[in-house]
Structure 1
């Protein structure tokens, strides 16, 4: 029997996915007048894409993230968390439209979805980003040092994955103008590299991402000395998938300790009297 030649053209596959997303956007615009409902549908389309193409070890939801200090994020479009180890403190909804409240320790990344990205929307993204990246990951226990796995992100090693923050937009104003505005905001707030908007993807247009001059490569996460650059390409979705999913494939979560959230519960404890 003659052997068959199977080949996979990832670029063509993702081009078709991008075209499908674009078509969904146009259908939604024609059918639904309310901007809020349009935004929810666009979010759902992108969540469906992530659910299909990211590892099944990851969970895709929307909602809020909390920490043991009593902090809570703003409502987040897409929360990427550990599918096996995440304790869920609240859940409502079905499938990948579930609204959840989950601990920050189990969160790997946040993706905000915008129909059209503007300077004003970047301001909104920065507020949302700060609300989640300022949360502290403390409710976990590390294994013995001999078997410990450290995560390399933002140019340094971490005991537990920091939260990555990305933006996906169907359309945008001029990418160079938006890049300059985002860089202006980073300098204005004097944000360390791990507390920034990491990468922006605009469908069929390109990315605002990071260039590492020491090794001459671009990377979804910034590092000390990296530059914020614009990459113009109609294959933006594929490029975004490739440079961000690299981090999702190396995710690792130490032992989570939900009991550390117990101080939020009012308790009245009585001990046995000594005889």
Structure 2
């Protein structure tokens, strides 16, 4: 009887243990990335608010720059170095001092490096950010001119026909006008400059308390958010303090990737021409008629794109992001 009881207990316990095991199996955790980005924005907003209380205007400005620098350092790839100082063109022209310079940390040398600033060759500089506590129309116009000058600095000759200009952005804690008014400033300036100058306009304006102003690019009938003013058909005003930081990081990485890839392509094309003793003329694939050379060039293009790869923030922001953006997106036509 003891054996029967033992067998009976064993037979009954086995399914219970299996059921218990199934019940204990952990389910995958889902991270609310949009909530996470909101917390990051709130943290940066708190720092900005606290630093604005510093009585010395210059020191308050530097504190804001440091807050943004530390936030970006935590969320951008290590390849993107954040510096302060000046960019130097190949013709030895020097930019005005930038609040934050974004450099290719793997390749960009410093011609001069002091404690808080340096001078960096434009070939290794991939962007600049102007930081302010409160953006006004006058400040916007001043920084717009400053960033356009910076973005037009000449790189090395072999990059001049192929490389994209470095990115140029504005970042403010707040604005003295509505975000739609800031969008109107951007749209007005877009229509005022010559068509060949539009590529040098600032890529975006971030107002931490209000949202983001960038562009809507129209390509093959598809409308998408962009930092690229060249193909812009509209200015995009995203009135969402909850989403704009994630959109900014996504578009910033996309633009930096484009800049890096264009420079790599330019340098690879330069090496290809050198190897085949081809003429160094601006534009096109002069002297690259050979099928073998064309194939080699196509491969180098793909290698450049791969080498400049960054993971895409948008992939991790959730499937409903587009719908949420649509609710907060205001469009200002600027294209033909």
Tell me the TM-score normalised to structure 1 length: 0.79
Which runs of structure 2 are paired with 1:23-102 in the superposition (5 Å)?
Answer: 23-30=46-53, 32-93=54-115, 98-102=116-120
C-alpha distance in 2 between matches for 1:14 and 1:226:
29
Name the SS of the counterpart of 1:216 in structure 2.
strand
Cα RMSD between the aligned structures? 2.3
Identify which of structures 1 and 2 has the higher relative contact order when contacts are C-alpha pairs closer than 8 Å and 6+ apart.
Answer: 1
Q: Does 1:236 align with 2:241?
A: no
* Larger radius of gyration between Structure 1 and Structure 2: 2
Aligned-residue offset at 1:62: 0.8
Number of equivalent positions? 237
| Cα 1:129/1:56, change in 2 over 3 Å | same
Q: Which runs of 5+ in 1 are unaligned?
A: 143-157, 258-275
User: Bigger shift: 75-84 or 177-186?
Assistant: 177-186
Aligned-residue offset at 1:161: 3.7
Q: Can you list the C-alpha shifts for 1:34-82, whole angstroms capped at 9, x where unaligned?
A: 1211111011100111111111111110100011212110000111111
Which of 219, 226, 232 is equivalent to 2:226? 219
| Cα 1:113/1:225, change in 2 over 3 Å | closer
Name the SS of the counterpart of 2:215 in structure 1.
strand
Name the SS of the counterpart of 1:197 in structure 2.
coil
Does the 8 A contact of 2:167 with 2:255 survive in 1?
no
- Structure 1 or 2: more strand by fraction: 1
- Structure 1 or 2: more helix by fraction: 2
Tell me the TM-score normalised to structure 2 length: 0.65
Q: Which runs of 4+ in 1 moved over 3 A?
A: 139-142, 252-257
Aligned-residue offset at 1:140: 5.4
C-alpha distance in 1 between matches for 2:45 and 2:67:
10
| Cα 1:247/1:186, change in 2 over 3 Å | closer
Q: Can you list the C-alpha shifts for 1:120-163, whole angstroms capped at 9, x where unaligned?
A: 11111122112211211116579xxxxxxxxxxxxxxx733421
